[in-house]
Amino acid sequence: DRSSMAKQGVASMLAVALVLVSLAAFPRECSAHRAAANSHGKTKGVHSIGVCNGVIGNNLPSPSDVVKLYKSKGINSMRIYAPESNVLKALSGTGIGLLMDVGNGVLPGLANDPSAAAAWVKANVQPYPGVSFRYIAVGNEVMDSDGQKTILPAMKNLQGALAAAGLGGRVKVSTSVRFDVVTDTFPPSNGVFADLDYMGPILDFLASTGAPLLVNVYPYFAYKGDPQNIKLNYATFTPGTTVNDDGNGLTYTNLFDAMVDSIYAALEDAETPGVKVVVSESGWPSDGGFGATAQNARAYNQGLINHVGGGTPKRSGPLETYMFAMFNENEKKGDPTENHFGLFNPDKSAAYSIRF
């Protein structure tokens, strides 16, 4: 789910290196949960935070135990990376809002055949009327150009299938992108989309349906890529550093806000300022690499939980955010940090002290 994130920090870092400030800010943001539709389509209260439920491990709790842990901690939203019937059954009737990915592997089929989208909705959404589906993510961090070409047709076909099933107003269709689809992110007011030929039509679709853009936002990778210019305290919501953006007149005290506000600037530049942002992943590893300690992970994740309800300097109000991730996953490939993003261990004990 997040294996390609490391590149995002390095690519995005180049803009920062040019800035003559004691530290560089990256527009990053985390979001707090807005009203969740329950199974009857009514709205519930503001949800401050969700958590991604990654499952790349051989020692993880059962879906029913996972849902019980979410409920016991007061976590009101979940992201899953593919439809999984046991998870959906366990979520039924809980009121936990769900962001569900289709899985990148099915994009070509959904893009090429409206009947495949209808079959997908029939198999993965309609059998679960008690699940509070909020968003369907059509693609997660799709980087290859061939794959990117399938995203918008698949989104349109799924939107049509949901509408035909009577779910068009309640379940929003979007795609989850890496932060580095935005470039020139320092200062935040300079943010623009790197490839508007790709992103522009997607943004127009989101504007027409009222769905948000889902963005994975990781100050950790920005910090890891340029620790000389980005201060650890600025990256982890710890006071002591401020950055002024002369372009918008705003002051930033943390990297997350700066990153998210660069996304808002890019949406304005793309002439789709009404598209909302949902932070579909954000987190900090507790072991396995540079800056990856339990102390830093706790500072970042607790800071995120405490912060997102108020939004960013540019956009106040709850910013819906999904923390990555619920559990440490022992079978994830790639950098060793990939196994240590969890808030909890597989035995359901806390990886470090955290309050929701």
According to the model, what pLDDT value does residue 5 have? 45
pLDDT value at position 85?
Answer: 97
Residue 324 scores a pLDDT above 70: yes
Token pair 């997607």: residue: 202
Q: What is the pLDDT of residues 85-97, one digit of tens each?
A: 999 999 999 999 9
Write phi, then psi, for 157 (nearest 5 degrees).
-65, -40
Percentage above 70 pLDDT, the chain: 87
Scan for tokens 């990297």, then name that residue: 255
User: Catalytic annotation on 281?
Assistant: yes
The pLDDT confidence band at residue 169, using thresholds 50, 70 and 90, is confident
Give pLDDT, residue 308: 95
Examine residue 280 and state whether it is found in any structural domain, yes or no: yes
Residue 305 pLDDT greater than 70, yes or no? yes
Q: What is the CATH number of the domain that holds 55?
A: 3.20.20.80
- The pLDDT value given to residue 16: 40
126 is a domain residue: yes
Q: What is the per-residue pLDDT for 41? A: 33
Query: Is 95 domain-assigned?
Result: yes
Mean pLDDT on 294-317 = 97
Mean pLDDT score across all residues of the chain:
89
Judged against a pLDDT cut of 80, whether residue 341 lies above it is answered with: yes
DSSP, res 210: T
- Answer whether residue 277 is part of any domain: yes
Least confident of 3-17, 198-212, 252-266, 267-281: 3-17
Which residues contact residue 287 at a Cβ distance below 8 angstroms, ignoring those fewer than 6 apart? 293, 294, 336, 337, 339, 340
Provide long-range contacts, Cβ within 8 A and 24+ apart, for 300-306. 300/219, 300/220, 300/235, 300/236, 300/237, 301/343, 301/354, 302/237, 302/354, 302/355, 303/236, 303/237, 303/238, 303/254, 304/30, 304/49, 304/237, 304/256, 305/48, 305/49, 305/354, 305/355, 305/356, 306/237
Query: Which of 22-26, 75-79, 128-132 bottoms out in mean pLDDT, i.e. has the lowest?
Result: 22-26
The values of phi and psi at residue 346, to 5°, are -60, -25
- Round to whole Å and give the CA distance between 348 and 73: 11
Number of structural domains in the chain: 1
**pLDDT in the model for residue 218:** 98
Which domain, by its residues, includes 189? 50-218+255-344
**pLDDT at residue 198 above 70?**
yes
State the maximum Cα–Cα separation within the chain, in Å, rounded to a whole number: 56
Kindly report the CA angle at 95 between 92 and 100, in degrees rounded to 5?
Answer: 70
| pLDDT of 45 | 36
The pLDDT value given to residue 1? 56
User: Residue 243's pLDDT is what?
Assistant: 95
Could you say which of 29, 281, 320, 338 is catalytic?
Answer: 281
The verdict on whether 271 is a catalytic residue reads: no
Torsion angle of the four alpha carbons 335, 257, 354, 89, in this order, in degrees rounded to the nearest 10: -80
Asked whether residue 81 carries a pLDDT value surpassing 70, the answer given is yes
Residue 14 confidence (pLDDT) above 50:
no
From the candidates 29, 141, 320, 338, give the one annotated as an active-site residue: 141
Higher pLDDT, residue 41 or 132 = 132
Give the pLDDT score at 342.
Answer: 98
Residue 111 backbone phi and psi in degrees, to 5: -75, -35
Q: Which residues contact 4 (CB under 8 A, 6 or more apart)?
A: 141, 143, 178
User: 48: pLDDT confidence band, cut at 50, 70 and 90?
Assistant: low
Judge if pTM exceeds 0.85.
Answer: yes
Burial bucket for residue 7 (CB in 10 Å: 0-12, 13-18, 19+): middle
Is residue 237 domain-resident?
no
Q: Is residue 42 part of a domain?
A: no
CB 98 within 8 A of CB 125: no
Q: Taking residues 190-212, report their average pLDDT.
A: 98
Give residue 259's pLDDT.
98
> Does residue 36 register a pLDDT over 80?
no
Across the range 181-209, mean pLDDT stands at 97
